[in-house]
């Protein structure tokens, strides 16, 4: 079974920056574009759904809920439509 690489096996990363100042003001500043605080929980729910092979994952992901989902059969696809 393949194992995840550890820090010593990771390649050196080169980080590049591209500057694209806004032409709409003298400083070239742009808006922040902060994301919602609900992005991380949604990403975790999607990761749990992928890991468990299910499409019926709901937040919050409590320990008991994840344990139950991991140990019961997934509902049949297309049911209730």
pTM: 0.49
CA-to-CA distance for 45 and 64, rounded, in angstroms?
A: 14
Residue that wins the pLDDT comparison between 20 and 78: 20
**pLDDT value at position 37?**
73
* Phi-psi domain of 25 (left: phi exceeds 0; alpha: psi -120 through 50; beta: other): beta
CA-to-CA distance for 50 and 52, rounded, in angstroms?
A: 6
pLDDT band at residue 78 using 50, 70 and 90 as cut-offs: low
Per-residue pLDDT for 45 more than 90? yes
pLDDT band at residue 3 using 50, 70 and 90 as cut-offs: confident
Per-residue pLDDT for 70 more than 60? yes
């Amino acid at each position: 079974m393949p194992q995840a690489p550890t820090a010593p096996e990771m390649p050196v990363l080169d980080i590049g920056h591209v500057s694209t100042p806004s032409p709409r003001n003298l400083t070239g500043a742009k808006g922040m574009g902060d994301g919602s605080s609900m992005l991380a929980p949604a990403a975790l729910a999607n990761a749990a759904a992928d890991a468990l092979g299910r499409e019926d994952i709901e937040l919050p992901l409590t320990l008991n809920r994840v344990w139950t989902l991991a140990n019961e059969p997934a509902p049949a696809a297309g049911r209730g439509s």
